[in-house]
Amino acid sequence: MSLKRFLLSTLIAAVALPATALVALARPAILTADDPGSQINVRSAPSLNASAPSYGVPGDRVEVIREVVGEDGFTWYYVEFNRSRARGWVRGDFVRLTGSSGQPSAWSKTYYCGDYNVTLRQVGNSDRYTYSASGTSGNITVKNGSRRNTGNAWQYTFFNGDTRYQLTDAWASSTDPGNAQLTVSRGDRRILNRFCEK
C-alpha cells in the first residue's frame, strides 16, 4: 500500500469515526403525556424558564441526543424529531425511551425517604408500576401499582392486603423544585409518613 493511499484511508477513518459515535449515542424515544391532546414544550435550554419556540405532541418519535439533570432537578433530553428534524430540550417526564425494537424501556426512579429507599418501576409499556422498598425494618416489593395525575404531582398507589403504600411526586416549578412524600396506611390509620429526596 502506498503512503498516499494509507494517509487517505486514515483520514477517511478519522472523519467517519466521530459521525458513527454520534449516531451510536442517539437513542430512540417517544413523547408521552396523560392527555393525548397535550402540546409538549420543546425548549431552547434545559429549564422551565427557557423559551419554548416549538412543541411536540404525545406519540411523536424523537432521537435523544443528550441528557442532563437541570438545576430544577429534572432530567432533560435534547431531542431531534424524526420527521421535522427540529431540535430542542424536553423535560424527562414527557419522554419515554424505547429500545432498538421500538418497545419502550421501563422507567424507574429511586426516592430516599429517611431510613427507607423506595424504587418505583414501570412494568413494560403499561401504566402499571412495582414498588420496592428497603429499610431498617426489612425489604418489601408490591406489584400492580397505579399512577394518577393530580394536576400538580404524580401519585403512585400500591396495595398489599389492607396496607396502602402511596408515593406522591410533586412537579417542579420555576419557584419550587418539587418534593416527594411517602405515606403508608393500614386501613384508615396512617402508620408512616416520610418526606423524600428525589
Same-domain check for residues 165 and 87? no
Q: Quick one: 112 and 93 in the same domain?
A: no
Residues 127 and 146 sit within 8 Å (Cβ to Cβ): yes
Residue 126 CA to residue 10 CA, distance in Å, equals: 48
Please give the share of the chain, as a percent, with pLDDT higher than 90.
Answer: 35
What is the tens place of the pLDDT at every residue in 77-114?
999 998 888 999 999 889 988 765 444 456 778 888 98
Residue 103 covered by a domain = no
What band does 125 get if pLDDT is binned at 50, 70 and 90? low
For the chain, what is the mean pLDDT? 80
Q: Which residue range forms the structural domain that includes residue 20?
A: 3-97
Distances (CA, A) of 61 to 43, 72, 138: 17, 25, 41
Q: 136: which DSSP letter?
A: T
Q: Looking at the domain assignment, is residue 102 inside a domain?
A: no
Total length of the chain: 198
Q: Same structural domain for residues 73 and 22?
A: yes
- As a whole number of angstroms, the distance between CA 78 and CA 69 comes to 11
